[in-house]
Chain A
Amino acid sequence: MNGTPALKVEKLKKTYSTGVLALDGVSLEVGAGRFFGLLGPNGAGKTTLINSIVSLARPDSGSVEVFGRDAYQEFREARRMIGVSPQEINLDRFLTVEETMLYHAGYYGVPKEKAKERTGELLERFALTGKRKQRVSTLSGGMKRRVLFARALMHDPKVLFLDEPTAGVDVELRYKLWGYIRELNHGGLTILLTTHYLEEAEALCEEIALINAGTITAQGTSGELKERYEAATIEEVYLKVVGRDTGG
């Protein structure tokens, strides 16, 4: 990788039509190949930040670059580099598991033969081969989560957004997913993980940003944050920062 950051967000502002200010000038830089964690309480702006980066939310102002490509002006190039595993399960209920993968590949312009090959690999990797002809609507919650994960990787993204990837997932699957996420990161994939499981962030992320009320309130490596806030764990850092911000 060259020196271009995987993700560069500058002064991103987003107000919802209800008047809620969800992002209040967020700036963030994620280096290529980094494992970056975004922590914050519910409603802090984590999902809004991801949605604004991928154009699912329309920010009021600010700029986003993905590996130097403007996310809005050069949206095709930028979006091709991003994979998203969303917080809410959003699988197309008309499709089977295999079709979910193949259609996703098509949406990203992946040629058919390559898509078939990759579908086989990913379904195998996520233990979904036996379910490939089954409609996604008939799968269990854990399997749907695995399909979401596999789908996000279908077009071979350079940056992977994992929005609460282990929410509602049993312990066994959580550890399996952790293992796989680590493996992807070691392979060079940049990962931005949002979570409110603090131990998840501490176990996985090289760098952590705390977001609260639409602003980044603290950022650094796990060690730096613990040192700065004189805390033994990230949980303690979190409580100090978020508690301070909310007056708790």
Chain B
Amino acid sequence: MILADRPFRTLLSREILRFTRVWVQTLIPPLLTSVLYLVVFGVALGGRIKQIDGIPYLEYILPGVALMNLVTGSQMNSSWSVFDAKRERYIDEVLIAPMSDLQIALAYSLGGTLRGVLMGAGVFLIGAPFVGIGVAHPALLLLIGVLSAFTFSALGTMVGALATRIEHISFLTSVVIQPLAFLGGVFYSVGMLPEALRIATLFNPIFHTVDAARYATLEVSDLNPYPTIAVVFLLSVLAFCGAWWAVSRGPNLRY
């Protein structure tokens, strides 16, 4: 059976329609927030922190801000989409359609991935004219962006399928993802941190994605980017297995 058959493509296009139809709510506010980060941290604080690793501060933070936006955008998209569909039970139409659970989990995860990638690219496009940034390894950046977005979108799909209350979704965004994003080396190099915090940061998956994106863009990073890509790939596989399990066997989607 072909994975990308018409039922799968239809669900994926529905997922894309969902966030493009309400683009004023889904695309504009996060981009605006990112611009504010760039202004506040880059322009205001950038006067005090001239350079990190020989790179002007605003330029240094841009890949991380883009990644932060990509991660939150992809995770929020799929978690809310699945949770809303479940809460209003229109997910039933999908669950009884001739589609496998793998296809359902993949369509939701790819919908969020696309939104995440658009958000990340949007930050680059907005920031680039001010910073004048050039991307050293565009293909690598795209790979890291897609893998990161897919990882967090799959995580969102899993949480959306498992959540029983709206608070569970907000918890993922506000208590898990956002702190990890802020502590993921977006605004600083881990070399600037005390030893204990530096070690703790290594357990933050967002740090690895930010660091790899920074390497792909600026050729500076705290870690060697290639093992990081392997880690992100592994994380994406794990997150997708979680999403697949939640759609197929999770206790709160089917009765």
Residue ranges of A at the interface with B (Cβ–Cβ < 8 Å): 16-17, 48, 51, 54-58, 75-77, 79-80, 82, 84, 86, 88, 90-95, 99, 103-104, 106-111, 151
Contact = CB atoms under 8 A, between A and B. Distances in A.
A92 B13 CA distance: 14
B251 A17 contact: yes
21 contacts: A16-B255, A55-B95, A55-B96, A56-B255, A58-B254, A58-B255, A76-B99, A86-B89, A88-B89, A90-B90, A92-B90, A93-B90, A104-B93, A106-B6, A106-B10, A107-B10, A107-B93, A107-B97, A108-B7, A109-B98, A151-B93
B88 interface: yes
Given A16-B255, A82-B96, A90 B88 contact: yes
Contacts of A95: 14, 17
Nearest to B9: A106
9 nearest CB pairs, A to B? A106-B10, A107-B97, A57-B255, A76-B98, A90-B89, A54-B96, A92-B90, A79-B98, A109-B6
Interface string B1-32: 10001110111011001100100000000000
Nearest to B21: A94
A99 B13 CA distance: 12
Contacts of A110: 6
B237 interface: no
Contact of A56 (B5, B7, B18, B92): B92
Nearest to A57: B255
A205 B100 CA distance: 34
A107 B7 contact: yes
B92 A57 contact: no
B94 interface: yes
A26 to B, nearest CB: 15
B234 to A, nearest CB: 30
B: interface residue count bin: 20 to 34
B172 interface: no
Contacts of A55: 95-96, 254
A86 B9 contact: no
Nearest to B19: A94
Interface in B71-112: 85, 88-90, 92-100
Contact of A92 (B6, B85, B254, B255): B85
Nearest to B22: A94
From A48, A56, A84, residue with most partner B Cβ within 10 Å: A56
B93 A92 contact: yes
A79 B97 contact: yes
B10 A103 contact: yes
A19 B18 CA distance: 37
A90 to B, nearest CB: 4
A65 B136 CA distance: 58
Given A93-B88, A107-B7, A56 B95 contact: yes
Nearest to B15: A94
Contacts of A84: 96
B92 A75 contact: no
A178 B5 CA distance: 36
Contacts of B9: 106
B98 A75 contact: yes
Contact of A107 (B17, B21, B99, B100): B99
Given A56-B95, A79-B98, A94-B17, A106 B7 contact: yes
A57 B254 contact: yes
B48 to A, nearest CB: 46
From B1, B17, B255, residue with most partner A Cβ within 10 Å: B255
Contacts of A75: 98, 100
Contacts of A108: 7, 97-98
Contact of A109 (B7, B13, B18, B88): B7
B113 to A, nearest CB: 19
Contacts of A86: 89, 92
Nearest to A51: B255
Contacts of A103: 10, 14
A55 B248 CA distance: 11
Contacts of B14: 92, 94-95, 103
Interface string B230-255: 00000000000000000000010011
Contacts of B18: 94
Contacts of A111: 6
Contacts of B99: 76, 107
A92 to B, nearest CB: 4
